[in-house]
């Protein structure tokens, strides 16, 4: 046992001395391993983020039951189908149940918006039924009166002409709370309708992943010309305290067989199943991260072993066994993997922070890259675990060719 420990210690000293002998190469390999680890952690973080973002959006919506009129998909113009008709009455009927606390219709339409009537841009219009529609306001006080245009169901109430925009839209149009903005479902009508910005919120832009202008539901229906059919994309409901969400969903499904009634988890799964490419992208990114990290680390340490061919041949010529040669290169792999892995993990938080800021600015999703402890463990495991195994294998292969003839 003592002999084995002494042998291991000697191999460790030789490995360290070999690394110190060519310090420049050692630093370069450590940096390269760090970059490989960084690629692993960032790609894995992005893959997890793609998989988890959709679930987070549903959790933030804080709705227990979702009623739809069929498949809900974003259209090519950024809008969304609104298959539910007579949505206010449906929501009122659902809200009358003892086991339901509240129910609300929500509609989506592609709308043109901007501060210059001759230069309007297409964004997603969101119609909500009450004062804030569950929005978390980042600026402003929100709608002053709520959905008063609908009133008693005749759409004869006054239009508040108030909107809440997401931070990206506010920045793009250079507007803030109190400023005016034109909104309509086509450029000609939009130039005739001027709304006041009463709040800034990223809630719906993060849910849809697009730029949004949110207004009272009936006012969106008014400018979209759907007041006659009272169309909405969803009727969502929160169950009363103590009520069983699954039971409420099942009873509503029996009561309204023409619609699809799902719990929030079922609705998320339904929408996610339609996003096969999104699911595939998340899984592919995680798999690519692991594969790229393994390949890069193995290649780097095999190259390190190949570059020491003459030194290893000299050690073999003076009598060191192939096992010691393999251990010598493996020891270097451990040191290089530890240093490169630690450096890559230290670089991960600031890199993820910068990429999250870039993703939020470009696509509106915040915290898209997720870095749970498992991501760091994956990167470090590849750097040290795979690196060590690869170095030992490379060292053993090098020992096969490390002959006296190599020195001639």
HEC string of 297-323? HHHHHHHHHHHCHHHHHHHHHCCCCHH
The domain of 349 spans 1-57+272-406
Residue 26 lies in a domain: yes
Residue 267 lies in a domain: no
From the list 383, 354, 333, 338, the residue with the least C-alpha distance to 42 is 354
Give percent above pLDDT 90 in the chain: 9
Residue tagged 């993820």 (tokens)? 352
Q: Please check whether residues 36 and 118 belong to one and the same domain.
A: no
Residue 3 lies in a domain: yes
Residue 182 lies in a domain: yes
d(Cα 149, Cα 397) in Å, to the nearest integer? 79
Q: Name the strand (E) or helix (H) holding 81.
A: none
Q: What is the mean pLDDT of residues 10-38?
A: 73
The band of 215, judged by pLDDT with boundaries at 50, 70 and 90, is: very high
pLDDT at 118: 85
Q: Please check whether residues 316 and 348 belong to one and the same domain.
A: yes
Structural domain total, the chain: 2
Boundary (domain end) residue, out of 210, 226, 258? 258
Q: What is the mean pLDDT of residues 250-260?
A: 91
41 vs 153: which has the higher pLDDT: 41
314 and 407 in contact (C-beta within 8 Å)?
yes
The band of 182, judged by pLDDT with boundaries at 50, 70 and 90, is: very high
The band of 146, judged by pLDDT with boundaries at 50, 70 and 90, is: confident
From the list 190, 184, 187, the residue with the least C-alpha distance to 220 is 184
- Whether the predicted pLDDT of 181 surpasses 90: yes
d(Cα 220, Cα 87) in Å, to the nearest integer? 13
Q: Please check whether residues 396 and 290 belong to one and the same domain.
A: yes
Residue 277 lies in a domain: yes
Q: Please check whether residues 84 and 195 belong to one and the same domain.
A: yes
pLDDT at 15: 64
Q: Please check whether residues 279 and 215 belong to one and the same domain.
A: no
From the list 109, 102, 55, 132, the residue with the least C-alpha distance to 236 is 102
Tokens of 188: 């000609």
Q: Please check whether residues 237 and 90 belong to one and the same domain.
A: yes
Q: Please check whether residues 206 and 298 belong to one and the same domain.
A: no
Q: Please check whether residues 173 and 319 belong to one and the same domain.
A: no
Residue 204 lies in a domain: yes
Q: Please check whether residues 109 and 222 belong to one and the same domain.
A: yes
Residue 263 lies in a domain: no
Boundary (domain end) residue, out of 231, 258, 285? 258
Q: What is the mean pLDDT of residues 69-85?
A: 65
The pLDDT tens digits for 2-22 are: 666 666 666 666 666 666 667
The pLDDT tens digits for 268-279 are: 777 666 555 665
In SS3 terms, 170-227 reads as: HHHHCCCCCCEEEEECCHHHHCCCEEEEEEECCHHHHHHCCCEEEEEHHHHHHHHCCC
Boundary (domain end) residue, out of 229, 258, 287? 258
The band of 337, judged by pLDDT with boundaries at 50, 70 and 90, is: confident
Q: Please check whether residues 104 and 219 belong to one and the same domain.
A: yes
- Whether the predicted pLDDT of 38 surpasses 60: yes
205 and 360 in contact (C-beta within 8 Å)?
no
Q: Phi/psi of residue 157, each to 5°?
A: -75, 170
- Whether the predicted pLDDT of 407 surpasses 60: no
pLDDT at 254: 92
Q: What is the mean pLDDT of residues 352-381?
A: 79
Residue 158 lies in a domain: yes
Q: Please check whether residues 226 and 282 belong to one and the same domain.
A: no
Q: Please check whether residues 370 and 240 belong to one and the same domain.
A: no
d(Cα 73, Cα 267) in Å, to the nearest integer? 12
The residues near 177 (Cβ < 8 Å, ≥ 6 apart) are: 139, 140, 197, 198, 199, 200
Q: What is the mean pLDDT of residues 109-120?
A: 88
pLDDT at 164: 92
Is the pTM higher than 0.85? The answer reads no
From the list 239, 233, 241, the residue with the least C-alpha distance to 251 is 239
The residues near 323 (Cβ < 8 Å, ≥ 6 apart) are: none
Rg (CA), the chain: 30
């Amino acid at each position: 046992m003592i002999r084995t420990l002494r042998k291991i210690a000697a191999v460790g000293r030789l490995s360290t001395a070999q690394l110190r002998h060519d310090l420049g190469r050692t630093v370069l390999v450590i940096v390269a391993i760090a970059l490989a680890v960084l690629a692993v952690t960032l790609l894995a973080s992005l893959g997890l983020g793609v998989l988890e973002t959709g679930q987070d959006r549903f959790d933030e919506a804080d709705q227990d039951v979702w009623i739809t009129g069929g498949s809900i998909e974003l259209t090519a113009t950024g809008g969304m189908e609104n298959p539910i008709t007579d949505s206010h009455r449906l929501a009122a009927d659902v809200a009358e149940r003892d086991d339901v606390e509240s129910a609300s219709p929500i509609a989506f339409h592609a709308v043109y918006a901007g501060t210059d009537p001759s230069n309007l841009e297409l964004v997603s219009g969101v119609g909500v039924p009450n004062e804030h529609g569950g929005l978390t306001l980042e600026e402003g006080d929100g709608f002053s009166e709520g959905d008063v245009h609908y009133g008693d169901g005749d759409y004869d109430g006054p239009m508040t002409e108030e909107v809440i925009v997401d931070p990206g839209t506010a920045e793009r149009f250079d507007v803030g709370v109190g400023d005016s903005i034109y909104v309509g479902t086509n450029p000609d009508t939009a130039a005739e309708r001027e709304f006041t910005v009463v709040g800034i919120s990223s809630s719906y832009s993060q849910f849809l992943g697009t730029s949004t202008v949110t207004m009272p539901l009936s006012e969106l229906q008014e400018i979209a010309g759907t007041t006659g059919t009272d169309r909405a994309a969803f009727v969502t409901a929160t169950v009363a305290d103590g009520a069983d969400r699954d039971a409420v969903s099942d009873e509503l499904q029996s009561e309204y067989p023409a619609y699809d009634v799902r719990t929030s988890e079922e609705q998320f799964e339904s929408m996610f199943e339609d996003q096969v490419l999104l699911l595939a992208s998340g899984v592919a990114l995680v798999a690519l991260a692991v594969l790229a990290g393994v390949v890069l680390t193995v290649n780097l340490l095999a190259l390190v072993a190949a570059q020491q061919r003459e030194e290893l041949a000299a050690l073999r010529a003076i009598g060191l066994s192939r096992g010691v040669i393999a251990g010598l290169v493996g020891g270097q792999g451990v040191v290089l993997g530890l240093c490169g892995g630690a450096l890559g993990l230290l670089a991960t938080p600031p890199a993820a922070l910068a990429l999250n800021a870039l993703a939020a600015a470009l696509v509106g999703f915040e915290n898209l890259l997720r870095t749970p402890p498992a991501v760091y463990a994956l990167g470090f495991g590849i750097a040290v675990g795979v690196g060590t195994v690869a170095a030992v294998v490379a060292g053993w292969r090098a020992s096969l060719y490390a002959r006296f003839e190599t020195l001639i």
